[in-house]
Amino acid sequence: MARILITGGNGFIGAELARRCVARGDEVTVLVRPESDVTRLSGCFGDLRCHRVRLEDRDALAGVFAAARPETVFHLAATTRFETDPALGDLDRAVECNVTPLFRVVQAAATAAEPPKRFIRTGTIAEYGEIEAPFSEAAREAPTSVYGAAQVAGTQFLCALRARLPFPAVTARLALTYGPGQSQEFMVPGTIRALLSGAQAELRRPADRRDLIHVDDAVSGLLAVEAGAETCPPVINIASGHHHSILSVAFLIARRLGRDVDALLLGAQDEEVTLCCDPALAAKTLGWAAKIGLETGLERTVDWEAANWSAAPGALGGVA
């Protein structure tokens, strides 16, 4: 049993990580923002502690660390989408939402009376941008969104601080994670729910190729990083290493739901963009590899969504 602290523990990945840690007997503390929806944690509230705090609040964080005395910190709290602002206000929001909270959590951990033994933070495939795939951890990043740029900034700061911290700090760069219960703002659930509603699923860039990883594999990867944190490099890809076109993913979803291909509304595009990570370092360093193939993972996700789906106004939408 270990003492675990998870920021963003109410999120899609964070909630699954919390459940997995509870299941293995850990003492789990999750941090969520005061206004956050914690529905995803409803099945395990009695088995963990949930604190509503703002990660920018130094005093509140210090109190949590003093009470929880975590041995492992998983920092998953992040905002993934920022509305483009002509006045560039989205840059401020990206820093405020993703960079500053990372600084505060690292500071709270490093200055705690009993610092954690390891600090694991989730990064993203979006940090690499549109460089040549597959992406290795040694590649020079070229992010194309403020989200990706903010995450690169966090990664580089954490790398720069690593020698000064009383614990190993690792950024686990996740491929595009999917699975049951994800927000319909993302491609896989958006496509599923559009087709469940009887509508067409709009694929704006059907030829683009993506490295997709099931949430169960993503969580297993994070736990592998935890186990090997002492010898893990500062940045490591947690990914499948395979890329699939948006169209092929949507076709598998449609087939599972018994919908024809004409339920897919295809956008026109001049060029395709491939986002795919090289997972070789995780295999070599941690002995970890993704185990859930795309078709199996999509079947599980579609079946869960179909079992839990209910039509609601404004729930038609889709996606990629």
Res 75: pLDDT: 98
CA dist., res. 30 & res. 192, Å (int): 30
Res 319: pLDDT: 42
User: Is residue 140 domain-resident?
Assistant: yes
Question: What percent of the chain shows pLDDT beyond 90?
Answer: 90
User: Is residue 123 domain-resident?
Assistant: yes
Q: How many residues does the chain have?
A: 320
- Which residues form the domain of 92? 3-177+213-238
Res 44: pLDDT: 82
- Which pLDDT tens digit goes with each residue over 229-265? 999 999 999 999 999 999 999 999 999 999 998 999 9
> CB-based burial of residue 206 (10 Å sphere; 0-12 exposed, 13-18 middle, 19+ buried)?
buried
CATH number, residue 113? 3.40.50.720
Tokens describing residue 143: 């992010």
Q: What is the mean pLDDT of each run of 10 residues along the chain (320 residues)?
A: 95 97 96 92 87 95 98 96 91 94 98 98 97 97 96 98 97 98 94 96 96 98 98 98 97 96 92 96 98 98 92 40
- Which pLDDT tens digit goes with each residue over 199-211? 999 999 999 999 9
User: Is residue 17 domain-resident?
Assistant: yes
> Is-contact 180 244, C-beta < 8 A?
no
Total domains present in the chain: 1
Phi, psi of 25 (to 5 degrees): 95, 10
* pTM (predicted TM-score): 0.94
Phi, psi of 274 (to 5 degrees): -110, 125
Give Cα 213 to chain centroid, integer Å.
10
User: Is residue 184 domain-resident?
Assistant: no
Res 171: pLDDT: 98
User: Is residue 252 domain-resident?
Assistant: no
- Which pLDDT tens digit goes with each residue over 104-149? 999 999 999 999 999 999 999 999 998 999 999 999 999 999 999 9
User: Is residue 255 domain-resident?
Assistant: no
User: Is residue 267 domain-resident?
Assistant: no
Res 313: pLDDT: 36
User: Is residue 243 domain-resident?
Assistant: no
Res 309: pLDDT: 83
